[in-house]
Structure 1
Amino acid sequence: MQAADAKGVGIQPLPLPMSRSTNGGLTRGALAAYAGPALPLAALTLPLYVILPSFYAGTVGLSLGLVGVILLGVRLFDALSDPIVGLLCDRFSPPLGRRRGWLLLGSVPAAVSAWMILTPPPEAGGLYLAGWGLALSLGYTATVIPYSAWGAELAESYHERSRIAAAREGMVLAGTLVAVSLPALFDGMRLGGTPEALGTLGLLVAVGLPGLALVAVARLPEPIEATRRPLRFREGLRHIRENKPFLRLLAAFVVNGFANGLPATLFLFFVARVLERPDLQGAFLFLYFLCGIAGVPIWLAVSRRTGKHKAWSLAMLGACAIFILVPMLGPGDLLAFSAICVLTGIALGADLALPASIQADVIDVDRLSSGARRSGLYFALWGLATKLSLALAVGVAFPLLDLAGFESGGAGPEGLGVLVALYAVVPVLLKLAAIALMWRFPLDETAQAALSTALREQERQRDAS
C-alpha cells in the first residue's frame, strides 16, 4: 500500500480542496459532494414506476395493457442487468477509475434518457416508451452501482461508513420528496398539469445528474484498486456462498424489504378505502418521507451507542409496535394515521441508512478471503434483492386482494379485511423475522476493526512479497 494508506483508509491522496477532516473522516463539504448525485437518482425511481404508467396511458394515449407489458419488460431487464453491471464496474476501469469513471459514464445516458422519457413527443408510441425505458434502466444501473460501491470504499471505519451511507440515503429521500411534490405543486399553483411537472423533473435530472456527478468526481478521490487478481466465476461464487454475514444480512434485507413493500404498494388503497380520504394521499406520503429524512440522523446517533445492527433492529421493533395499531383505524382517523406516518417515517431512516453501511462491512469479509475488492458486485446483488422484495410485494398483494373481491374504486366492505391484514399485520410478522436475523449479527464494531487490521496486514504482506 502507499504511505498515505498507513491507517487502512485505502484512499489516494487528493489535492486541495481537502476531502478529509483532521479525524480522518470526510469533511462536510466532501460528504455533501458525494451525496449530491443521489438527489436526481432518487427522482428517477418514483416517476418510472408510479407516475409514468398513468401518464403514458392517459396523456400520451397508449393502452394500459401495453404500458404494463412494456414496463414489466423494463423491470425484468433492470433486474438482469444489475449483476452484469456489477461485474463490469469491478473488472474494467475507465480513465477516471472504476467508481468515478463509471459514475460519469453512466450519468450521461441516464440523464438523456430521463429527459426523453419524461417529455415524450405527441406521436410517441410503445416503441418510444420501450426504447427509452430500457436506456434509462441501463443508464441508471450503470450509475447507481458504482456510486454505491464508491461510498462503501471511501471509508474503512465502522461509524464513518454509516455517516456516508446516511448522507446518501438522506438525499435519496429528499429526491423522492421532490418527485412526489412536483405534480401537486404544479396543480396547486396552476403552473400546468402532469406533462409540465414531468418536463420540469426531466430538466432537473438532465442537468442535475451529470452536473452533481461531476462535482463529486472533482471533489473526492478514487479508491485504490485493492484487487490483486481477478477471480474466476466459480471461485467468486464460492466466496459469496462462504460469506455468512453477507447471506444473513441479505436475507434480513429481503424480508424487511418485503415488509416495507407491502404497505408501500397498498398505501394509496388504504388511504382511499379505509380512511376514505383519497384527496390526502399525497399529503400523507409527503409527511412519511419528510419524517424519513428526520429519522436518518437520529438512527445514526443511536447506532454510535448500540452498534448498527442493534440500532436497525430497534428501529424495526419500534415500527412493529406502531404499525400493529393500524387495524384499529377507520374512516376519519386522520390524526392517528398522521402520527403513524410520522413515527414509521422516522423508522424508515434506519431502514435506508444502516443496512447500506453494514453492507460495506460484510464486503470486507469477502475482500479478506478472496483478495479482491468486489463492492460493485455486492451492491448489484443488493439492488437485485431490493427489486425482488418489491416484486414480491406486488406479486403477493394484488392476487390476494383480487381473490378477496377487493376493488380499488369500490365502496363496499369486500376485501377490506384482507387489505388491512396485508397492509399492517403481515409486515409486522415479517419485520419480527428480520429482527431475529439481525439481533445477534456477528459483525459489530469490534469485529469490523479486527477485519480492518487483518486487511492491512494482508496488504502489507503482499506489498512485501
Structure 2
Amino acid sequence: MPFYVVVPEFYARSVGLPIATVGAVLLAVRIFDAITDPLIGLLADRTRAGFGRRRIWVLIAAPITAGAAAMVFLPPAGAGALHLLVWAGLMSLAWTALSVPYYAWGAELSTSYAGRNRVVAARETLAVVGTVVALLAQAVIPAWWGGGPASALAGLAVLVGLALPATAWLAVAAAPEPVDRSTQRLGARDGVAQLLANRPFRRLLAAFFLNGLANGFPATLFLFYVGDRLGAADLAGPLLLVYFLCGVAGVPLWLALARRSSKHRAWSVAMLIACAAFLVAALLGPGDLGIFLAVCVITGLTLGADIMLPGSLQADVIDVDTAASGEQRSGLYLAAWGLATKLALAAAVGIAFPVLSWAGFEPASGQASETGLLTLAVLYAAVPVALKLAAIALMWRFPLDAAEQARLRAVIEARRRS
C-alpha cells in the first residue's frame, strides 16, 4: 500500500518530479518484472533444499526487500528519477523473490475447493490488517513528530524494516513446507506449451488483469481524487481506513456466497456491486463527502471478494496443469499471477499520469484545470467500470467448479500412487 498509493504522490508532490516521469519510472520497473517474475517462479519450483523449497526463498528475500524499501521511502536530498528507478527496481525484484514462493506455498497447503478459500481468506485478511497498520502509522507518525508525508514514509520504512524479516522468520518456523506432488519434470518447450494450453488459467489471468487494472486506477489516484477533486485531503487517511476495514468485514460474506454458489459467480457479483458504486463516484465533487463515504463502504465490502476469491481460483487452475503435465508448478503460475498484478498497477500509473498531465493536472506545480479535474474523476471512477464489466464477462461462465476441481485432484493423486 505505501508503494502503490503513497509513493507516487510523494515523488510527484513532495520530491517534485513531473507526474509523467513518475509514471514512466514505475512502468519501467514493471517491464523489468516481466523478465524476472517467470524466471523466479521457475527457479522456485526447481529449488531443492532440505530447509524447504518455499521457505528458503522467503527467508533470504525478506531483509533485501526491507532494505530496498527503506531507500525508496527515504530518498536523499536531490533524489530524482534515477534514484526511484534503481531502488524501486531492486525492491520489486526482492519482493518477487519473496512473494512468488510465499503465494505458491499458500496455494499448495490445501487441496480442496473450499479449503483453499479458507487459506487465502486467512492470508489476505491479515494482509489487509497489515495495510490498516500502515495507514494508521501514516496518520499517527506525522501527528506525533511532524514532517508530513516524509516522516510518515520514514516511519513506514522502519516498520517494514523490522516487521518483514521478523514475520518471515515466523512463517518459516511455524508453517509446514507443502508436499511437492510432481511425478515428472517438464522441459522448457513442453512446459510453455502446457502453460499456454491451460485455457481456464488464460481466462482467469485475463479477468484478473482487467480487474487489477480497474482497481489500479483508483488505488493510484485515490489521494489526488480525495484531495483535489473532493477538496478533502485531510480525510484521505480515514476514508482509506474505512475502505480496508470494510474489506476485512466483507470476507465472511463472500466465503458464504462462494459456498452457496461458486467462487467465480461470487466474485462476479462483487464486481457488479463495485461497478454501481464507482458510477456514483464519477459524478461527485466538492461537498459530496457523505456520498463518497458510502462509496468507500460499498467498494470496501467488495474488496473482500477481490482479495480472496481470485487467489483461491488460481490454486484450482494450477490443478489443471498438474493433472495434465504431472509437474506441480505453482511457483511459475503464481509468478504469472504476480506479474499480472504488477503490470495492471503499472499500466494504471503509466496511463493515468501522462493523461492527467496532458489534461492540465500537475500537482508538483499546483496546476489543476477544470479539464484536469474532470479527467481525474473519469480515470478514478468511470474507466474502472468498463474494465470490471469485461472481467465479469470472462468469469460468469468459468468452467471450474467444486465438482471439476475434485475430479482433477483425483487424477493427480492417482498418478502419484501409481
Structure 1 residue 105: deviation in Å?
A: 1.8
Q: Which residue of 2 aligns with 1:341?
A: 296
Quick check: 1:197 aligned with 2:152?
A: yes
Q: Normalising by structure 1, what TM-score?
A: 0.81
AA partner of residue 270 (structure 1) = Y
Q: CA, structure 1 residues 203+269, in 2 after alignment: closer, same or farther (shift >3 Å)?
A: closer
Q: Specify the alignment match of 1:374 in structure 2.
A: 329
Equivalents in 1 of 2:80, 2:352: separation in Å?
A: 30
Shift of 1:331: 1.9
Structure 1's 46 and 106: CA in aligned 2 closer, same or farther, altered over 3 A? farther
**Higher relative contact order by CA 8 Å / sep ≥ 6: 1 or 2?**
2
Q: Aligned residue for 2:247? A: 292
Give the distance between the partners of 1:388 and 1:341, measured in 2 at CA. Answer: 25
Per the alignment, in what secondary structure is the counterpart of residue 325 of structure 1?
A: helix
Residue 182 of structure 1, aligned match among 137, 145, 149: 137
Cα distance in 2 for partners of 1:193, 1:431 equals: 35
Corresponding position: 1:422 with 2:379: yes
2:415 counterpart residue number? 458
Residue pairs, 1:365-444, within 5 angstroms: 365-406=320-361, 408=363, 409-410=366-367, 412-444=369-401
Aligned to 1:94: 49
Give structure 2 stretches of 5+ with no counterpart. none
How far apart are 1:47 and its partner, in Å? 5.3
Residue type at the aligned position of 2:55: R
Aligned counterpart for 1:143 among listed residues 98, 120, 126: 98
Give the match for residue 249 of structure 1.
204
Closer/same/farther in 2, CA of residues 122 and 131 from structure 1, 3 Å limit: same
1:369 shift after superposition = 0.7
TM-fit CA distance, 1:115: 3.9
What per-residue deviation string (whole Å, max 9, x for no partner) do you get for residues 175-234 of structure 1?
222333323212223455444433332232222222212222222211122223321111
Q: Please report how far the alpha carbon of residue 355 of structure 1 lies from its aligned counterpart in structure 2 after TM superposition.
A: 0.2
Cα deviation, 1:152-172, whole Å, max 9, x if unaligned, reads 000001111111111221222
Bigger drift between 311-320 and 185-194 goes to 185-194
Aligned to 1:106: 61
**Identity in percent:** 52
Q: Which stretch shows the higher mean deviation, 248-257 or 112-121? A: 112-121
Q: Which residue does the alignment assign to 1:20?
A: none
* SS of residue matched to 1:441: coil
Cα shift at 1:109: 1.9
1:79–1:387 Cα contact (<8 Å) kept = no
* Superimposed CA distance per residue, residues 28-84 of structure 1 (whole angstroms, 9 cap, x where no aligned partner): xxxxxxxxxxxxxx66655555546656x26xxx89898776655444323421111
> Alpha-carbon deviation of 1:434?
1.0
More deviation in 267-276 or 90-99? 267-276
The answer on whether the counterparts of 1:94 and 1:102 sit within 8 Å (CA) in structure 2 is no
- What does residue 447 of structure 1 align with? 404
Q: Does 1:159 align with 2:114?
A: yes
Q: Secondary structure at the match of 2:282?
A: helix
Moved more, 178-187 or 405-414: 405-414
Q: Matches of 2:30 and 2:369 in 1, distance apart?
A: 34
Greater gyration radius: 1
Separation of aligned partners in 2, 1:326 and 1:71: 26
The range that moved more, 226-235 or 65-74, is 65-74
Q: How does 1:124-135 map to 2 (within 5 A)?
A: 131-135=86-90
How far apart are the structure 1 equivalents of 2:361 and 2:76? 37
Are positions 1:363 and 2:318 aligned together? yes
Structure 2 residue 165 is the aligned partner of structure 1 residue 210: yes
CA contact (8 A) 2:120 2:311 kept: yes
Alignment correspondent of 2:221: 266
Name which of structure 1's ranges 276-285 and 344-353 shifts more when overlaid on structure 2: 276-285
Distance 1:421 1:133, change over 3 A: closer
Name the CA shift for 1:100/1:170 in 2 (closer, same or farther; >3 Å). Answer: same
In the alignment, the residues of structure 2 paired with residue 279 and residue 147 of structure 1 have an alpha-carbon distance, to the nearest angstrom, of: 36
Q: Measure the CA separation in 2 of the matches of 1:255 and 1:69.
A: 20
Say which of 227, 252, 256 aligns to 2:182.
227
The TM-score with structure 2 as length reference comes to 0.90
Residue from 254, 261, 265 that aligns with 1:306: 261
What amino acid is aligned across from residue 348 of structure 1 in structure 2?
L
Residues 141, 362 of structure 1: CA spacing in aligned structure 2 closer, same or farther, 3 A cutoff? Answer: same
Instruction: Flag the 1:48–1:97 CA change in 2: closer, same or farther, 3 A.
Output: farther
For the residues of structure 2 that align with 1:198 and 1:87, how far apart are their CA atoms? 34
* Distance across 2 between alignment mates of 1:340 and 1:225: 44
Question: Residue 396 and residue 205 in structure 1: after superposition, are their counterparts in 2 closer, same or farther (change >3 A)?
Answer: closer
